[in-house]
Chain A
Amino acid sequence: MTSTTRITAAAAALLAGSIGAAQADIKIGVLYPTSGTGAVYGVPAMQGHDMAVDEINGGGGVGGEMLVTFARDTKLKPAAAAAAAKELITKDNVDVLVGGLSSAVGLAISEVARQEGVIYIATIPKTIQMTTTKLHKHVFRTSSHTDFEGDAMAQIVAQLGKTKLCDIQLDYAYGHDLAAGIEKGLKRHAPNVEKVIDLRSKLGATDYNAQITQILGTGCDVVTSGLWGSHFVNFAQQAQPFGLFDQVVYISGGEIASHEIAGRMGKDYPDNVWSNTYELWYDHTVPAHEKFQADLAARAGTKETAMWPVLAYIGVKFIAAAAEKAGSTDADELAAALEGMSIDTPVGPRTIDPETHQADTGQFWGPMVRKEGVDYRVMNPVTYIPAKID
């Protein structure tokens, strides 16, 4: 088995040499969960990653050097992600790490990157800690973070004129940090809103009846939340018979406006939900999005595409741009190139702050409404809330 792999690898290397590719490839260690619960996001994220790599290599690579991907499954577990990151660095000699899904995993990979002095570009994790208390010179983030997200949610609370707020979050880094982000946002945008109750569910929780009935008992007129993915699907399915969504406006982070949730829930998607997403397959506000979405649709084999690919895609584009600018894969030189770097993406321009290493990644926000002719909900109107906190 091993010898077969070696021979195949050798053959591939010879072939690569014969078509004139440069010897010194840029090795990218990519970390997404591709099995278990996290596969929902990790598998589409890998599609976006591969698409960006293929685009760049198809265009001649970076200064003649090809991008080569070394993928590892994080299994959505910080320990597994840290072990995989170490292995990528020591065994595969990758030049840069990219990916991460879940705040806990992001922090774990970041710690390895710090110890090993390798660049890590976090494409999905949102915990604010990553670019504040746990910031180091080799970690960069191209996703949004919980302070931006919480601030946007507070703006919507204020815009809708709501006054009694219930908050329900998942009991781990992301949920805690988002609750804090909302809290800070409310002070700025809606200081008169009364926070009635803080509810916490564990990551992976499936039963929300106790929380739903508590929210109903408090008489809140708005619920803020970061229940993402199947957490939201379960919460919504369980809350609808109680009439929760007739009583409150549900403002949610966690990208439950993305089409993978809206499309899957179809007519079961509840009323009165405002949420966010990084990308909507049907929204071409940014002209470059149209081609991106068409390519992605061809790759995925579906007309409607998922949101996660664009995040991984942007991560690769930053790596390529940084390697181009630095003319090297040395970690310190890449870091210097990334600081202050701007690129254009299918969802708008992105600039990495030289101090915080955080990209100014805003999100699309809006109410999820019915649309004639289709059995799923769409965001309308779509508003881009930029990543800035006044």
Chain B
Amino acid sequence: MIRVQARIEQSTLMKIASPLLAIFLTLIFGSVLFSAIGKDPLQAMQVLLIAPLSDMYNIGEMFVKMGPLLLCAVGLSLCYRANLWNIGAEGQLLMGALGGSTAALAFIDSSSVLALPITLICGVVSGMLWAAIPTYLKLKFNSNLILTTIMFNYIALYLLLWAVHGPLRDPEGYGFPESALFSDITTLPILFDEGRIHLGVIFAIFAAIGAWVLLNKSHIGFQIRVFGEDEPAARYAGFNGKKISWIVMLFAGALAGLAGVAEVTGPIGQLIPSVSPGYGYSAIIVAYLGRLHPLGALLSATFMAVLYMGGDLAQIEIGVPTAVVGMFQGVLLFFLLACDFFIRYRVSFITNNNPIQE
């Protein structure tokens, strides 16, 4: 018989052992899966997990992929720590891209050094505004933040589609829904000669460190944590819940907006209908994988970026179909989150066969 008991304190041993256990279980599952479709499991896993880091180009691309995931996940981690269920990073990111693109297109013939900073600020502010509306609705009318932020994702997407099919469409683009390419003046500088690592990646890493300092070394951060863990205690201590909600939500909106504007002024270089392949949603997984810790998000965003890239490489190098790659990635994430169960719970096997008498 198996007995599950809640632990009084979280197990330190399991905090380290649970990811290892998850990886071990995934390797077993992966071996079975790849053998079943006639691929060499060792080679498959080498391509999926190691090849994305095998040369400078791929490492650079890993950072490019990590940037938007990290920016969104850091903001979400803070929200979730404060018990604010913000699902709206995707919409905030899209609005950041839209706001930034509007500015970048206005500067298309400009040579001002202020063009790029203004473009970035427009993106950040657009993301903040998009986070502000659901926050206001929650604080004023007690609306459900999960629902409003999800709905705002759709509104943002359709606003972006409208803009890219209408006012921001490239007049010389044969009617295709794309903006003109931004001029160099509003394109984020590339950090190395080779590859696409841009300034946005540095912003993302600084954001993670900054959020960690905010959360762990500041009085505001202390208030955020208390609110998340014990709201009555926080109120008893006289902390201002509204203020905390505003700070955390606007911070998350700003970071997601930055992610959006950094995508369009960075690797993409124009506004297109598919700015984000769902970064705002993936960032929810990233935040939880990082255990809602800003520096944890740094690790988990890197890990997710590697997984995504490995999926493409597996198709190129060994012809694994995308559905199988998706299964492998899904199972890996499932094991990682499921093994965290053992941090909070103790599982014991009872050997004697005495059923409990009623």
Bound together: no
| Contact surface of A with B, Cβ cutoff 8 Å | none
| Contact surface of B with A, Cβ cutoff 8 Å | none
